[in-house]
Chains A and B, each alone.
Chain A
């Protein structure tokens, strides 16, 4: 089912999303990969504040290619989410509601999704040129020294994604594969 949603994503929204829904996301989204996640978790361990407003936030796992002149961003497709698995539960427990990436998640992450009524979306891997067209603004907000891995705040408009793990823990990667398996 096609759905149009806006960020920040609240619990009221995630409760309506089901694994397999095709969504178009509009609003502010943070961008971070594993190096940035590692730093955020280290900051928390030192008792410091996070550099982003985590409550009801959506984090897109992505490291763009450099922008050409006149464009907000370069190629901007999802990276493999499992590299963030070690860090995601702590952020979900602090209020992160949406994650956009690609690929399987661990049981610990799925448990944290259910516990916090969050959602995991997949964007299409290897469609970085197409997805960059849905990003209207991009600014680096911290960890600039990480280059392509710095944390960014971006504005997206009708960004296409698919609900893979919904707030009840239903996992499209498992159910959809079974439907088409014939070996």
Chain B
């Protein structure tokens, strides 16, 4: 049994919120650089170069990469041999988010009720996904999610007879409908299987997988490559203004499902696909 004080969790989450909003992770940075050299549209290239300059300014002047610094989505994988002391864990996570967004000059984009819509003024609460795993460590993944792309995400409850072709069509439909609204080039996170809510979480988690890293399942890996190629032939391009770079990566996660169903979730993220991971 290892004891961890929640103050450590709070401090890390605060720092990670600020880090995620000012610096892209290495995988995304590489994918963005590569896109500049492969884009065929002149305007598309110009936009991708602007995005390169934007990243440089964000880093050097500590200005958030995007003004939509997101709703904080946090995955916690907590070792079953960890004992937490201090605050209640949910309160601690929200305290970390509160400090990060307040001290880090990040935008407060959360309303306390979906219909009454009063801003909570500190970007809390976060959306927290807990997993209990073997070991005595805590793995924290922070993925602040902007809503330009979140609003374009979809869930399809397909029939088993729809099969692989149905899944591919669902992915293309979601990307086509998202178009310029989702700030392409996008990263496409896909969840296949599970239940209604499970496939959505699979898709969300797929977005935190490094761009360029593929599924270990051979047929899924092939589908990721094929869908990336197809999406990039849609013509949407950077900023949705035409071009050959519509997506930087397609990450697919799968899970067992029911004999009667084939749920598919497509979670779309813009090029500012923020994800920071720490293990404590």
Contact = CB atoms under 8 A, between A and B. Distances in A.
A32 B106 CA distance: 19
Interface string B27-51: 0000000000000110100110011
B233 interface: yes
Interface of A: 20, 22, 35, 62-68, 71, 74-77, 79-80, 82, 102-104, 122, 124-133, 146-148, 160, 162, 164, 172-173, 175-183
Interface of B: 40-41, 43, 46-47, 50-51, 53-55, 57-58, 61-69, 105-109, 117, 119, 121, 148, 151, 179-181, 183, 230, 233-237, 239-244, 270-272
B268 to A, nearest CB: 12
A68 B62 contact: yes
B272 to A, nearest CB: 5
Contact of A176 (B106, B242, B271): B242
Contacts of A62: 67
Given A65-B105, A102-B180, A130-B50, 13 more contacts: A22-B46, A64-B107, A68-B63, A68-B105, A74-B63, A75-B66, A80-B151, A104-B179, A126-B51, A147-B119, A148-B67, A178-B235, A182-B235
Given A147-B119, A173-B180, A126 B54 contact: yes
A147 B121 contact: yes
Nearest to A146: B119
A147 B271 CA distance: 26
B107 A127 contact: no
Given A102-B183, A177-B242, A75 B234 contact: no
B35 to A, nearest CB: 13
Given A122-B241, A177-B242, A181-B234, A77 B50 contact: no
18 contacts: A22-B46, A66-B105, A66-B106, A75-B63, A76-B67, A122-B239, A124-B50, A125-B270, A126-B65, A126-B66, A128-B54, A129-B61, A129-B63, A129-B64, A130-B53, A179-B235, A180-B242, A183-B230
Interface SS majority for chain B:
loop
Q: Which residue among B237, B241, B271 has the maximum number of chain A CB atoms within 10 Å of its CB?
A: B241
A37 B244 CA distance: 35
Contacts of B234: 177, 181, 183
Contact of A65 (B55, B64, B236): B64
A173 B65 contact: no
B201 to A, nearest CB: 24
A166 to B, nearest CB: 14
A63 B69 CA distance: 11
B272 A126 contact: yes
B37 to A, nearest CB: 17
Nearest to B102: A66
B75 to A, nearest CB: 23
Given A130-B57, A148-B109, A178-B235, A77 B180 contact: no
